[in-house]
């Protein structure tokens, strides 16, 4: 064969290469690759776990945020309710005060009316008594004009009252 | 500082003495002309070595077996002593091994995303073989030919049979990827690249052989055996070990990815089946 090409030696080289490939695969390539894969899987697992932890923390944060918002809403509602209650109480007190004032005014008016009526009755009674007294005196003085005596008496009585 | 200067002076003195000694000793006289040496390096017509007394083979075959034995021994030692002590925070050796495995694994995954498990293992083995095999010529291991002459074992892939074996095996791996993914369609896709095994084989052979020939040429003349081998022997060997490893593994991964890509019709059929199911 040209160039000293020898089929037998080519086959021997093939055998040599096949043994080398198989040997290196089982002795070196496969174990090293397995170890590398194992380490990759380990770090992947760590990464996954960290990602899970992160996701859980995010979820907890969201839950806490939601709770905070709910608490804020509740506080707002409570405040509104308290304000409403205070406002209602103030209105009620105002209404009570107005009612009381109205009662006081009405009572005062009634009392004033009663006083007025009493004074009127008193003055009428006094007038009647004066009239009766004057009539008695007139009846006691003979010859006198009744009408003039009455007027004198009443003028004297008024002066007496003015004093 | 003084110690450094003294060491440098000793080295220089030793180099000068060796140079003078080499010149004085002279060459035993070329047993063969440079043309014969070159031809022998390529064809191994007279430099055959006995393989355990069973048959005569090119010295590249012996190199290949030694490289394989060395690699498997290292792998076994690593498997027994290093891998059980691997930790999640890697040390230097673990980092190196993980980088190596990860390099070929990523190459397989990025070039052949549909089917990369076997490809990664093959690329790892082929890459290690080419790299270590090419570097093995730096050791200058000696063997004895069937004619009783000593011979320096070359890089395995500077033997045309080894290069053809590597090229054709890579082609078969590509073909297997095509068949596994696309059946007969994959065979068609792979056979379309019929020149691939030849180009792969002879690219490797040419690259490794050129290095060997330049080294042979340099060492053929005593006067060139100083300083120059550091560049030619070490740096060039390192460089083309890296380049050839990268080229063959990358080509294999690229073609494997191309032929193992599921054809659109097959994908459509699968989709239809899934929809019907």
Q: DSSP readout, B167-222?
A: HHHHHHHHHHHHHHHHTHHHHHHHHHTTTHHHHHHHHHHHHHHHHHHHHHHHHHSG
Q: For residues B38 and A5, give the distance between their C-alpha atoms in angstroms, rounded to a whole number.
A: 17
Q: For residues B154 and B113, give the distance between their C-alpha atoms in angstroms, rounded to a whole number.
A: 37
Residue A13: per-residue pLDDT: 93
Q: Is the pLDDT of residue B217 over 70?
A: yes
- Cβ of B160 and A3 within 8 Å? yes
Q: Which residues contact A137 (CB under 8 A, 6 or more apart)?
A: A149, A153
Residue A116: per-residue pLDDT: 92
Per the structure block, which two tokens stand in for A136? 């008695």
Q: For residues B226 and B50, give the distance between their C-alpha atoms in angstroms, rounded to a whole number.
A: 33
Q: pLDDT over 70 for what percent of chain B?
A: 88
Contact B147, B225 (CB under 8 A): no
Residues of B in contact with A41 (CB under 8 A): none
pLDDT digits (tens, 9 = 90+) for B172-214: 998 888 888 888 777 777 777 778 778 887 887 788 777 777 7
Q: Give the residue on A whose Cα is nearest the Cα of B105.
A: A33
Better pLDDT: A160 or B175: B175
> Which of the residues B101, B108, B109, B170 would you substitute to probe the A interface, choosing the one with the greatest number of A C-beta atoms within 10 Å?
B101
Most confident of the ranges A132-141, B40-49, B193-202, B234-243? B234-243
Give me the residue from A10, A27, A32 closest to B161, CB to CB.
A10
Q: What number of CA atoms fall less than 13 Å from residue A149's CA on the CB side?
A: 17
Residue B140: per-residue pLDDT: 81
Say which range, A87-91, A125-129, B13-17, B146-150, has the weakest mean pLDDT. Answer: B146-150
Better pLDDT: B143 or A106: A106
pLDDT digits (tens, 9 = 90+) for B12-36: 898 888 878 877 776 655 566 777 7
pLDDT digits (tens, 9 = 90+) for A3-24: 678 888 899 999 999 999 999 9
Residue A31: per-residue pLDDT: 94
Rounded to 10°, the helix B236-260/B196-220 angle is: 180
- Cβ of B125 and A35 within 8 Å? no
Residue A96: per-residue pLDDT: 95
- Cβ of A8 and B75 within 8 Å? no
Residue B1: per-residue pLDDT: 64
- Cβ of B121 and A3 within 8 Å? no
Residue A89: per-residue pLDDT: 95
Say which range, A53-62, B1-10, B181-190, has the weakest mean pLDDT. Answer: B181-190
In angstroms, how far is CA B218 from the centroid of its own chain? 22
Residue B30: per-residue pLDDT: 57
B140-143: long-range contacts (C-beta < 8 A, 24 or more apart)?
B141/B63, B141/B66, B143/B49, B143/B59, B143/B62
Q: What number of CA atoms fall less than 13 Å from residue B254's CA on the CB side?
A: 9
Residue B223: per-residue pLDDT: 67
- Cβ of A20 and B72 within 8 Å? yes
Better pLDDT: A54 or A150: A54
pLDDT mean over B112-127: 91
Q: Which residues contact B250 (CB under 8 A, 6 or more apart)?
A: B107, B111
Say which range, A102-106, A145-149, B160-164, B202-206, has the weakest mean pLDDT. Answer: A145-149
pLDDT mean over B139-154: 84
- Cβ of A12 and B71 within 8 Å? no
Is A42 an 8 Å CB contact of chain B? yes
The answer to ipTM > 0.85 is: no
Confidence of residue B83 (pLDDT cuts 50, 70, 90): very high
Residue A163: per-residue pLDDT: 42
pLDDT mean over A69-98: 95
Three-state SS at B154: coil
pLDDT mean over A80-97: 95
Residue A4: per-residue pLDDT: 75
């Amino acid at each position: 064969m040209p160039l000293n090409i020898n089929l037998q030696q080519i086959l021997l080289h093939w055998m040599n290469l096949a043994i080398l490939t198989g040997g290196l695969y089982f002795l070196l390539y496969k174990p090293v690759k397995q170890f590398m894969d194992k380490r990759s899987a380990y770090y992947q697992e760590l990464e996954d776990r960290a990602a899970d932890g992160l996701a859980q923390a995010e979820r907890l944060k969201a839950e806490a945020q939601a709770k905070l918002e709910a608490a804020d809403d509740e506080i707002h509602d409570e405040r509104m309710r308290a304000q409403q209650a205070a406002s209602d109480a103030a209105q009620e007190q105002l209404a009570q005060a107005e009612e009381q004032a109205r009662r006081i005014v009405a009572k005062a008016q009634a009392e004033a009316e009663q006083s007025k009526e009493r004074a009127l009755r008193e003055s009428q009674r006094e007038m009647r008594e004066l009239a009766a007294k004057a009539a008695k005196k007139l009846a006691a003085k003979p010859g006198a004009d009744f009408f003039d005596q009455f007027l004198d008496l009443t003028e004297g009585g008024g002066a007496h009252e003015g004093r | 500082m003084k110690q450094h200067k003294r060491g440098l002076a000793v080295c220089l003195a030793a180099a000068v003495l060796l140079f003078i000694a080499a010149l004085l000793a002279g060459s035993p006289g070329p047993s063969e002309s440079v043309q014969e040496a070159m031809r022998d390096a390529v064809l191994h017509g007279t430099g055959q070595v006995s393989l355990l007394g069973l048959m005569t083979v090119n010295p590249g075959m012996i190199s290949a077996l030694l490289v394989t034995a060395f690699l498997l021994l290292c792998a076994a030692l690593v498997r027994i002593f290093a891998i059980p002590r691997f930790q999640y925070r890697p040390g230097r050796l673990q980092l190196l091994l993980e980088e190596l495995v990860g390099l070929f694994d990523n190459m397989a995954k990025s070039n052949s995303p549909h089917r990369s498990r076997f490809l990664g293992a093959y690329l790892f083995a082929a890459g290690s073989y080419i790299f270590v095999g090419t570097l093995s010529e730096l050791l200058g291991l000696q063997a004895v030919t069937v004619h009783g002459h000593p011979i320096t074992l070359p890089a395995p892939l500077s033997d045309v049979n080894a290069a053809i074996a590597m090229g054709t095996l890579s082609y078969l791996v590509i073909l297997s990827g095509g068949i596994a993914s696309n059946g007969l369609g994959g065979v068609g896709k792979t056979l379309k690249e019929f020149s691939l095994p030849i180009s792969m084989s002879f690219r490797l052979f040419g690259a490794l052989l050129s290095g060997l020939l330049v080294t042979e040429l340099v060492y053929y003349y005593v006067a060139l055996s100083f300083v120059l081998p550091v560049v030619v022997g070490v740096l060039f060997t390192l460089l083309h070990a890296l380049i050839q490893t990268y080229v063959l593994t990358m080509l294999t991964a690229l073609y494997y990815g191309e032929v193992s890509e599921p054809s659109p019709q097959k994908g459509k059929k699968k989709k239809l089946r899934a929809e019907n199911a």
